[in-house]
Amino acid sequence: MPAPRVAAIHDLSGFGRCSLTVAIPTLSAMGVQCCPLPTAYLSTHTGGFTGNTFLDMTDQMASVTDHWKNCGVVFDAIYTGFMGSREQMALTADFVRTFRRPECLAVIDPVMGDHGKAYRTYTPEMCRAMSRLAEEADVITPNRTEAAILLNQEYDTLRLDHPEECRRWAERLSLEGRRSVVLTGITLPDKPVTGAACFDRTDGKTHLVYAPLAPGQFHGTGDLFASVLTGALVQKHSLKDAAQTAADFTSLCAAHTGKENIPAREGLDFEPLLLRLAGNA
């Protein structure tokens, strides 16, 4: 059987593991062909670095879309992440509509913020545009901050430390069951675990998955989780199993990175552990 094929629409940072430098090797290790559509090229990501270069590639996105369409390229999934402008979000929505077919899954990571705040590059207009893009999704993977933005809720009202609350918020994010949801960053009181609440639109059920909480915070954690999730989904794993695989591998990489004393801004040191994903192909 040929490898499943995923179109990955993200930025590309030359240094600092995030976005495409996470998605490409992760999907490849899982036996998935990754076809990158870069939205921008940066010398480094912007978390913990200053003075980075930035090359906006918005003007290439429509041309790439048209060329791939004319070549007859088909995808098993479209996987999107950080966007730099409302125009990029609109172009990405066009891409999804162009290549959508019953066998093609649209996984949209609505990257907008963390720790209760939108990223400094995100305006309220951009957040609304991301919400519109997320309406095209078959699966969304918001963290707590992004869930609050999508639901137009105050961040502090989203309690993700109680199972029933986690299920309620995941179901609210589903647009009345029209899309599946993997709500990340859920916890349990007095237990060192973190995970995700997974609303599966195929059966209307919400499952919770957990993995050990490793100390420290690292850039690119959400990108690694969403990349593993996407790889598992195109390999026909259930949403719950795909989320569990993603949670377990992300937890493993975070623990390894902390043990190696790697600076947080360099991201998760996941490459030495990629062979462990081969069994999920």
pLDDT tens digits, one per residue of 162-184? 999 999 999 999 999 999 999 99
Instruction: For the chain, give the percent of residues with pLDDT over 90.
Output: 92
Question: In the prediction, which pLDDT does 281 show?
Answer: 60
Terminal-residue alpha carbon distance, the chain: 12
Residue 237 pLDDT more than 90? yes
**Average model confidence (pLDDT) across the chain:** 96
Q: Is the pLDDT of residue 153 over 70?
A: yes
Residue partners of 234: CB distance under 8 A and separation at least 6:
4, 6, 32, 76, 77, 105
Chain position carrying tokens 């062979």: 275
The token pair that represents 237 in the structure block: 């794993």
Q: Which residues contact 42 (CB under 8 A, 6 or more apart)?
A: 11, 12, 13, 14, 52, 53, 54, 55
Two tokens at 72? Answer: 């007859």
Q: How far apart are CA 107 and CA 134, in angstroms?
A: 9
Distant-in-sequence, close-in-space partners of 204: CB < 8 Å, separation ≥ 6: 177
Cβ distance 137 to 178 under 8 Å?
no
* Alpha carbon 268 to its chain's center: 15
Question: Strand pairing partners for 114?
Answer: 117
Mean pLDDT calculated for residue range 69-86: 97
* pLDDT on residue 120: 86
pLDDT at 244: 98
The share of the chain scoring above pLDDT 70, in percent, equals 99
* The token pair that represents 26 in the structure block: 């992760």
Give 280's pLDDT tier (boundaries 50, 70, 90). low
Question: Is pLDDT at 1 greater than 80 in this prediction?
Answer: no
| pLDDT per position as a tens digit, 89-143 | 999 999 999 999 999 999 999 999 999 999 988 999 999 999 999 999 999 999 9
Nearest in space to 110 (alpha carbons), one of 123, 87, 129: 129
Q: Identify the three-state secondary structure at position 5.
A: strand
- Stretch 9-20: mean pLDDT, rounded? 96
Q: Which pTM value belongs to this model?
A: 0.97
Separation CA 123–CA 208 (nearest Å): 32
Average pLDDT over residues 255-265: 94
CATH superfamily ID and name for 5-280: Ribokinase (3.40.1190.20)
Answer yes or no: is pLDDT of 72 > 70: yes
The yes-or-no verdict on residue 194 having pLDDT over 70 is yes
Alpha helices in the chain (DSSP H): 20-29, 58-70, 86-99, 124-134, 144-151, 163-172, 221-234, 239-259
